[in-house]
Structure 1
Amino acid sequence: MRVLVTGASGFVGSHAVAALLADGHEPLLLIRNPERTREVLAGVGVTEPVPLHRADIRDTAAVRDGLEQCDAVIHAAAEIGVIGRAGDLAGTNVTGAKNVLGQAVELGLDPVVHISSIGVFVPPTGPVITTESPLSTPRNEYGRSKISAEHYARRLQEQGMPVTIVYPAAVAGPYQPSLDALMDGLRAGLEQGWPITAGGVGVVDVRDLALVLARCLEPGLGPRRFMLGGHYLTWAQLADVCDEVTGNRCRRFRVHRSVLRGAAAVVDAMKLIKEIDYPLTRDAVEMMVTMVRAYDTPTLEALGVGLRPVQETVTDSLRWLAQEGHLGLDKVGRLAGSVTR
């Protein structure tokens, strides 16, 4: 199947390209920077030439030109703003989604795969998040942009269009082009310590997510929604896994959720004045302290996908962070011997 992939120079998109090629698909990559895209793809093992379609996701006509060459699309392009680093949120997350999803269904592509986020359900209203959980009403620009794109994708589904929405939790693994979200949290946790507080995190290996996306490419099945919550860990459990794979003892500090919220608000204010290298924001804290388990068994069964052990994901993530110089070799303990720089 000929598949247009947006965001191919990003974390999820680059791994998705590798998974598509492994499954025998023919990806066409909608990208802005060919050199950067080739460099990122080489990191995930894609060294063969892959066709490129140079376009900005906000350019309606250019996006349509790419879609017209394909049978299906995986829309992975997005700005990530939960830890306070983002660009044109409305342009990429909202206008981009409309350009890709809306035009894809007009042109008859099937399926049209949209990567959303478990964050559209946070804070959760129950002890488990499912694809039928109520959507949130976010207070920040990033959250509003994701919800707007979500509502648009769901409107297409309500019209019977073959739109598949995938909801991954926190994604980790090797080769993240721009350090963000959980990967930046792992770096900060090992360097500066883990806040042991309420809530937790669903750890999804980027390679498992990529396989899920590739398995979504079956036409004729209509609108579908897939949750991918991964392995749910409390913050203490995540610190324990880091200890297990490194042989080190991570620093921990217990903090009540209200105190953490207050500290994050202070850090947000300080970041307006100077750069602070710590991924603590008020929005990130809300995700941290309210997250619950997500029910993804129907997804794994429907697509025939199994999740790799969380220890493998954390090991590969920490090794890569050290390899790229984001972590000192002393912080990764016994993994240091397998790090190449």
Structure 2
Amino acid sequence: MSARLASMHVLVTGASGFVGAHAAVALTEAGHEPHLLVRDPAKAARSLTGAGAPGAGWPLHEADIRDAAAVRDALKGCDAVLHAAADMGVTGHGADLRGSNVVGLRNVLDQAVELGLDPVVHVSTVAVFVPPAGPRITPGSPLATPRNAYGRSKVEGERHARDLGGVTIVYPGGLLGPGQPRLDALNEGFRAGTRSGWPVVPGGVGILDVRDLAVALARCFTPGQGARRYLIGGHFMTWAELAALCAGLTGRPRRAYRLHPGLLRALATALDAAKALGVPVSYPLTRDAADIMLTMVPTDDTPALEALGVTLRPVEDTVSDTLRWLCAEGHLERREIGRLSP
């Protein structure tokens, strides 16, 4: 498939982040030249190194996606764009979610379409479908009405991307893998689960290796295809299955505790209140995260994986690599990953 692709200059927004850095590497391996739009070049350099960047001097644009003029200048030198920049708000507080997830998105996608870039690829999230309307999420599932600020900002941006036309949208699930610049969402939860035990509640999680997502994103860059939607939620696991998998991989006793959904939400709400008061709380659970944990269902990834020619690596490999990386970076102790420790 990649042999048929013509080389393009692809502007990558959010190249200092987890997805953007890995995607830049995958684009290079597919024969394209990434142009990086980042706010912090030093952070971008660290992220790219963590993602296995070959050290090439890719063109760099230091700008904020909320600056429409700066975004336009960067777009003018490119054939296509991968919009991977976003602010996460599931396990944190205080981010200007709408500024990046809505205003920044409009600056990038609107101007890319206006300038005739092709393709225009937007990295959304499976969270726009959560809480889900049925037992399985598909690309045609209705958009959700989430209660949390992160979900609302992503759904607002999603509606705009769809209305714009000509935009390819990719919906990844929970991302794991090595090289995350700052622990967030699932990687942060993995550290807490490995260290303190896994809450066993209804629902589950879709686990997607960031390296597999990067390959899928790189394979979206065929011009003339029009608007497409690719759902790649990853391997779905219940929380009990995830606890058992980690125990099996590490050789340590299974650490899990059953919680009533109402109790999980109450604990999450209490932690939110403590954090808002400035109390130092390291455990990543929030009410927003609890809602997603309790309501997530499997996703139908087959159409996207077949269209892009991508095979997801075994979930055991992703979890093992993640735990080893968390240990190597000092986020976990060697004893905590058991026999996975070097």
Report the TM-score, using the length of structure 1 for normalisation: 0.96
Give the equivalent residue in structure 1 for 2:158. Answer: 150
Give the equivalent residue in structure 1 for 2:332. Answer: 327
Could you tell me how far 1:265 is from its partner in structure 2? Answer: 1.0
Code of the residue aligned with 1:75 in structure 2: it is: H
Give the equivalent residue in structure 2 for 1:72. Answer: 80
Taking the TM superposition and a 5 Å limit, the aligned residue runs for 1:39-188 are 39-46=46-53, 47-157=55-165, 161=166, 163-188=167-192
How many residues are paired up? 333
Cα pair 1:11 1:177 within 8 Å, conserved: yes
Give the equivalent residue in structure 2 for 1:25. Answer: 32
Could you tell me how far 1:80 is from its partner in structure 2? Answer: 0.5
Aligned pair 1:224/2:228, yes or no? Answer: yes
Could you tell me how far 1:186 is from its partner in structure 2? Answer: 0.5
Q: Whole-Å Cα distance in 1 between the matches of residues 42 and 275 of structure 2?
A: 32
Code of the residue aligned with 2:142 in structure 1: it is: P
Code of the residue aligned with 1:235 in structure 2: it is: W
SS in structure 2 of the partner of residue 227 of structure 1: strand
Q: Whole-Å Cα distance in 1 between the matches of residues 280 and 103 of structure 2?
A: 29
Cα pair 1:202 1:233 within 8 Å, conserved: yes
Cα pair 2:50 2:180 within 8 Å, conserved: no
1:282 aligned residue (283, 287, 303):
287
Q: Whole-Å Cα distance in 2 between the matches of residues 196 and 223 of structure 1?
A: 39
Q: Whole-Å Cα distance in 1 between the matches of residues 341 and 148 of structure 2?
A: 39
- Farther off after superposition, 280-289 or 46-55: 46-55
Q: Whole-Å Cα distance in 2 between the matches of residues 252 and 195 of structure 1?
A: 6
Give the equivalent residue in structure 2 for 1:207. Answer: 211
Give the equivalent residue in structure 1 for 2:238. Answer: 234
SS in structure 2 of the partner of residue 283 of structure 1: helix
Could you tell me how far 1:39 is from its partner in structure 2? Answer: 1.8
Q: Whole-Å Cα distance in 2 between the matches of residues 43 and 200 of structure 1?
A: 28
Cα pair 2:46 2:181 within 8 Å, conserved: no
Q: Whole-Å Cα distance in 1 between the matches of residues 216 and 89 of structure 2?
A: 24
Give the equivalent residue in structure 1 for 2:199. Answer: 195
Code of the residue aligned with 2:130 in structure 1: it is: V
1:336 aligned residue (312, 331, 341):
341
Q: Whole-Å Cα distance in 1 between the matches of residues 52 and 265 of structure 2?
A: 40
Q: Whole-Å Cα distance in 2 between the matches of residues 175 and 250 of structure 1?
A: 26
SS in structure 1 of the partner of residue 341 of structure 2: helix
Cα pair 2:50 2:178 within 8 Å, conserved: no
Could you tell me how far 1:85 is from its partner in structure 2? Answer: 3.7
Segments of 5+ residues of structure 1 without an aligned counterpart are none
Q: Whole-Å Cα distance in 1 between the matches of residues 188 and 256 of structure 2?
A: 17
SS in structure 2 of the partner of residue 171 of structure 1: strand
Cα deviations by residue, 1:106-165 (Å, 9 ceiling, x for unpaired): 0000110001110000000101001111111122221111111101001012xxx2x100
2:271 aligned residue (262, 267, 272):
267
Cα deviations by residue, 1:255-295 (Å, 9 ceiling, x for unpaired): 11111111111111111221201111111011001100000
Cα pair 1:80 1:86 within 8 Å, conserved: no
Cα pair 1:184 1:279 within 8 Å, conserved: yes
Give the CA RMSD over aligned residues. 0.9
Q: Whole-Å Cα distance in 2 between the matches of residues 139 and 223 of structure 1?
A: 28
Report the TM-score, using the length of structure 2 for normalisation: 0.96
Could you tell me how far 1:86 is from its partner in structure 2? Answer: 5.0
Code of the residue aligned with 1:237 in structure 2: it is: E
Cα pair 1:79 1:86 within 8 Å, conserved: no
Percent identity of paired positions between Structure 1 and Structure 2? 59
Q: Whole-Å Cα distance in 2 between the matches of residues 67 and 86 of structure 1?
A: 29
SS in structure 2 of the partner of residue 293 of structure 1: coil
SS in structure 2 of the partner of residue 129 of structure 1: coil
Cα deviations by residue, 1:56-77 (Å, 9 ceiling, x for unpaired): 1100000000111111100000
Segments of 5+ residues of structure 2 without an aligned counterpart are 1-7
Give the equivalent residue in structure 2 for 1:310. Answer: 315
Cα pair 2:201 2:261 within 8 Å, conserved: yes
Code of the residue aligned with 2:315 in structure 1: it is: V
Show structure 1 runs of 4+ deviating over 4 A. none
Give the equivalent residue in structure 2 for 1:2. Answer: 9
Q: Whole-Å Cα distance in 2 between the matches of residues 37 and 83 of structure 1?
A: 22
